Amino acid sequence: MNPTTVLLRRGRVIDPRHGVDGVRDVLVRDGVVAEVSEAPIQAPPDAQVVDAQGRWVLPGFIDLHVHLREPGEEGKETVLTGSRAAVAGGFTAVVAMPNTKPVNDSVLITEYVKAKAREAGLCRVYLAGAITKGLQGEEMAEMGALVAAGCVCITDDGRPVMNAGLMRRALQYATQFDLPVMVHEEDLTLSGKGVMHEGATSTRLGLIGIPPSAEVAMVARDLVLLEETRGRLHVAHVSCEGSVRLIREAKRRGLRVTAEATPHHFTLEDEAVGDYDTHARMNPPLRSRQDVLAVREALADGTIDAIATDHAPHGVLEKQVEFDKAWNGVVGLETALGLTLAAVREGALSLTRAVALLSDGPARAFGLPGGHLAVGAPADITVVEPDVEWTVDATRFFSRSRNTPFHGRRLTGRVAQTWVGGRLVFENGQTKESRS
Amino acid sequence: MRHLLGIEGLRRSEIEALLDRAEAHLHGSPDASHVLRGKVVANLFFEDSTRTRTSFEMAAHALGAEVLNWTMAGSSVSKGETLLDTARNIEATGPVALIIRHRSSGAPHLVARHVRCAVVNAGDGTHEHPSQALLDAFTLRRRWGRFDGRTVLIIGDILHSRVARSNLHCLTALGAKVVLCGPPTLLPPGLESLGARVTSRLDDVLPEADAVMCLRVQSERQSESFFPSAREFSRLFGLNAARAERLKPEALVMHPGPMNRGVEIAPAVADGPHSVILEQVAHGVAVRRAVLEVVCR
Ligand SMILES: [Zn+2]
């Protein structure tokens, strides 16, 4: 049982939205933050007291881009197992992509996933609806109904909307709901049959390359459409320098564009494919060193708003095959924090900025509650042990899938506790399901 | 050497040792027929290539081995079995080596990670074709002795050519200079970082070449718009009689076969005084004997 009153004592509170970084006591009552104080708070008699000394107390992480695979591919992941992986990774909220089977292009699927999420009772699960029916890129899905059912954005993620006219109207139509349109930017005529970044490594391995222009050309197109429609565009998994440059410039001109980058794209280069390691196969592909550096710079300077994992579970059957037959994607929820902190230690961005990218940035991009720790905010809190070193062991993931290129990697910084709405949902390597 | 998955990463001494063994086999190494006596070598050809398959088969027989041929047609692969399932099932029959030809780059690497027996790459996608490169190097070495100061020009579809990649690694490791020439659409990025000089101006580099390798042009590349037509390809990159005139007198002309006569190479050049194409074919078995001998040891 969780008491309704919790006092997190003497942790280092980092709340980028309010410029807080220092030792504070945080009092949580009835699921919201009741007090944040530099001076010690007298523990109320009914409070559970948590000693957070030497730990970081952060706004709960929000992942704008996860694939929970339910309905349809429950063997890879379910809303429950995905929620477990999320809270184990410090995520208090995730946005589930609509490319399930069937596709979330209707209220029925939205309601179904929401019910599964309530049943799991771990993190908050927000839904993304499809832009087009069945992700076919032909007819717009019922956006109004999806919004009414609770979808927080629309996207055909996994696929681009190749039809520019349709994309323009989707952006236009979404303005009446002030809804972000999330885009997987890939010109299919440029990516073709490509399976990895086009560069020296693809040449050496004899694999068909995907040039950066496949992404950049679509970012350019959609920014042009955004400017005309004055809608909201969210660019998913930005992978290369050209996209970063265009997004930076569009933001400077005041367009309502937000963007996300994944830990694998700011950590690994195309060389990680090694000798045909299918765990390094994803879309967009791992890019060149120059692209990685550009993405890191964009994380630091605010061009990119959010770190999103693009958590994409796959089974052994999808990965233990020839490279050109393997499916795209990596699981990411349980390694995101460690990889982000590695980038911080390497000097790519500040700790405050990193926390902002995991919490405040994504909350603002989609207008979600949380992402900060002011009084009255939902008590979604991630407590981190910053100095604990650990080794990624995919066999011990909470996720039902193990497809990660980071198995065996040493990381520093681990999630100690995850609180959602004032309820402890993860502690010391254990998830706390409400039923148990 | 446990497997032969590619030439990349082999040391010069390893390549030279293989070529030395091939030389011994070419002269009919007397004790060779015992090397694999009672052993089984499995040919797994997921892509048709009668020439390469037969060449490996002859090499295995010459070493005293039994050969099991598995081809795509009628195999369980067409029934949805994965490559690994197939490879493991065949491994269970006890071969000392799996010789794999596959459309996917890296397929032999995948198999090698999951089986205990030796794996020989007989051509994987657009990646490598190591035994072809070895027989090409063998042919050149028999003519030249040494590779230092020699320039080999490889012409055509570099992007999709496993022969080009394997030869690039092999020839540079042996000390030759390699120039790759083809239309810009068929020259992938990063070839320089692998040690090649890259150009689309055939006529500029032709007089420098001590050997010229013409690659087979696949007709489907035309429909994929890598170049406008076979005629235009031939005009710009074909080794025709006029170009052959501009070769060094002692320059050698090679082709991994099968040839599109009149496209990448003119018939008169293929059969002309520069050509060592038939020698290449003749050397295939000796080189593959050497390969099997080394990986099965
Ligand atoms: Zn995705």
pLDDT, one tens digit per residue, over B174-192 is 999 999 999 999 999 999 9
Q: Where in chain A is the domain with CATH 3.20.20.140?
A: 60-366
Q: What is the pLDDT of residue A256?
A: 98
Q: Report the pLDDT value the prediction gives residue B78, as an integer from 0 to 100.
A: 58
Same domain, B185 and B264: yes
pLDDT of residue B32: 79
**B41 and B74 both lie in a single domain:** yes
Q: How remote is the CA of residue A143 from the centroid of ligand 1, in Å?
A: 20
User: Buried (b) or exposed (e) across B151-164, using 16+ Cβ within 10 A?
Assistant: bbbbbbbbbbbbbb
Domain that residue B272 falls in: 131-280
Segment B193-249, tens digit of pLDDT: 999 999 999 999 999 999 999 999 998 898 899 999 999 999 999 999 999 999 999
Going by C-alpha positions, the residue among B40, B65, B68 that lies closest to residue B53 is B68
Q: pLDDT tens, position by position, for chain A (436 residues)?
A: 456 899 999 999 999 999 999 999 999 999 999 999 999 999 999 999 999 999 999 999 999 999 999 999 999 999 999 999 999 999 999 999 999 999 999 999 999 999 999 999 999 999 999 999 999 999 999 999 999 999 999 999 999 999 999 999 999 999 999 999 999 999 999 999 999 999 999 999 999 999 999 999 999 999 999 999 999 999 999 999 999 999 999 999 999 999 999 999 999 999 999 999 999 999 999 999 999 999 999 999 999 999 999 999 999 999 999 999 999 999 999 999 999 999 999 999 999 999 999 999 999 999 999 999 999 999 999 999 999 999 999 999 999 999 999 999 999 999 999 999 999 999 999 999 875 4
Residue to mutate among B105, B163, B172, B186, with most A CBs inside 10 A, is B105
Whole-number Å distance between alpha carbons of A269 and B110: 21
Residue list for the binding site of A for substrate = 67-69, 99, 283, 314
Assess if residue B223 is contained within a domain: yes
Whole-structure pTM value: 0.95
CA B237/CA B21 separation, integer angstroms: 36
Do B106 and B205 reside in the same domain of the chain? no
So what's the pLDDT on residue A1?
Answer: 46
B97 neighbors B2 (Cβ within 8 angstroms): no
B97 domain residue, yes or no:
yes
Tell me, yes or no, if B191 comes closer than 8 A to chain A by beta carbon. Answer: yes
The CATH number given to whatever domain includes residue B50 is: 3.40.50.1370
- My answer on whether B60 and B120 are in the same domain is yes
Which residue of chain B comes nearest to A317, CA vs CA?
B82
Residue type, A229: T
- Position B80 scores a pLDDT of 73
Q: Is residue B1 a part of any domain in this protein?
A: no
- CATH homologous superfamily of A60-366 equals Metal-dependent hydrolases (3.20.20.140)
In a domain, B46, yes or no: yes
CA distance A393 to chain B (A): 20
The sign one gets for the Cα dihedral B17, B20, B25, B31 is negative
Do B53 and B190 lie in one domain? The reply is no
Confidence at residue B214, expressed as pLDDT on a 0 to 100 scale: 98
Q: For chain B, what is the mean pLDDT?
A: 94
Q: Is B216 a known ligand-binding residue?
A: yes
- Indicate if B136 and B268 belong to the same structural domain: yes
Query: Is residue A310 among the annotated active site residues?
Result: yes
| Residue B253, pLDDT above cutoff 60 | yes
Model ipTM value: 0.93
**Which one is catalytic: A105, A310, A360, A380?**
A310
Q: pLDDT of B28-62, one tens digit each? A: 777 778 899 999 999 999 998 899 999 999 999 99
Range(s) of chain A covered by CATH 2.30.40.10: 5-57+377-431
User: Are B274 and B174 part of one and the same domain?
Assistant: yes
Nearest CA in chain B to A323: B106
Class of domain A5-57+377-431: mainly beta
**pLDDT at position B74:** 54
- Quick one: which of B84, B131, B128 has its CA closest to B105? B128
Q: With the C-alpha atoms ordered A108, A137, A183, A291, is the resulting torsion angle positive or negative?
A: positive
- List binding-site positions of A: 65, 67-69, 99, 157, 184, 237, 283, 310, 314
Residues of A with CB below 8 A from B84's CB?
Answer: 320-321
Q: Give the contacts of A45 (CB within 8 A, at least 6 positions apart).
A: none
Among the listed residues B204, B210, B202, the one whose alpha carbon sits nearest the alpha carbon of residue B156: B202
Whether residue B3 is contained in a domain is answered as no
Contact between A203 and B125 using a beta-carbon 8 Å cutoff: no
Q: What single-letter amino acid sits at A381?
A: I
Domain tally, chain B: 2
CA distance linking residue A126 with residue A68, whole number of Å: 11
Give the DSSP letter string of chain B. ---B--STT--HHHHHHHHHHHHHHHT--TTGGGTTTT-EEEEEESS--HHHHHHHHHHHHHTT-EEEEEESTTSGGGGT--HHHHHHHHHTT--SEEEEEESSTTHHHHHHTT-SSEEEEEEETTTB-HHHHHHHHHHHHHHHS--TT-EEEEES--TT-HHHHHHHHHHHHTT-EEEEES-GGGS-TTTGGGT-EEES-HHHHGGG-SEEEEPPPPTHHHHTTSSS-HHHHHHHH-B-HHHHHTS-TT-EEE--S---BTTTB-HHHHTSTTB-HHHHHHHHHHHHHHHHHHHH-
Q: Is residue B5 part of a domain?
A: no
Q: Are residues B188 and B256 in the same domain?
A: yes
Which residues from chain A sit within 8 angstroms of residue B188, using beta carbons? 198, 202-203, 209
Q: A18 vs chain B: nearest CA distance in angstroms?
A: 47
> What are the distances in angstroms from CA A51 to CA A73, A297, A382?
41, 36, 14
Check: CB of residue B58 under 8 Å from CB of residue B33: no
Nearest CA-CA distance, residue B190 and chain A, Å: 4
User: Do B125 and B200 fall into the same domain?
Assistant: no
Q: Is A206–B162 a contact, with Cβ atoms under 8 angstroms apart?
A: yes
For residues A307 and A259, what is the distance between their CA atoms, to the nearest angstrom? Answer: 9
Residue B222 assigned ligand-binding role: no
